[in-house]
């Protein structure tokens, strides 16, 4: 972490943990920036393939799709983001 709280995370050092609530080994998750860093915004990585799981958020979140598609269903409406999109 540098001056002003700027943090750089080497992407090659990221290790994915298990995400509870989905089939074992289907979803990997890691938080990189959290409130513990003194930040009001969090950041991390998530990866999965052909997985469906309920997910209730009690915070705001921005998702950037790096490859594939992300389908999010809310109140009967499904939104689809593709590689390069932000949701």
What are the tens digits of pLDDT across the range 1-27? Answer: 777 778 888 888 988 887 776 676 678
Residue 6 lies in a domain: no
Mean pLDDT, the chain, integer:
84
Q: Which of 85, 19, 14 is nearest to 49 (CA)?
A: 19
**pTM beyond 0.85:** no
Task: Specify the CATH number for the domain of residue 31.
Answer: 2.60.120.10
Enter the tokens of residue 83.
Answer: 């590689």
Q: Which residues of 36-57 are buried (b: 16+ CB within 10 A; e: fewer)?
A: eeeeeebeeeebbeeeeeeeee
- Count: domains in the chain: 1
């Amino acid at each position: 972490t540098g001056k002003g709280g700027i943090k750089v995370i080497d992407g090659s050092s990221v290790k994915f943990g298990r995400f509870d609530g989905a089939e074992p080994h289907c979803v990997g998750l890691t938080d990189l920036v959290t409130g513990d860093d003194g930040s009001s915004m969090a950041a991390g990585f998530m990866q999965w393939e052909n997985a469906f799981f309920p997910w209730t958020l009690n915070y705001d979140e921005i998702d950037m799709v790096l490859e594939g598609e992300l389908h999010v269903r809310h109140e009967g409406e499904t939104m689809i983001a593709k590689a390069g999109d932000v949701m």
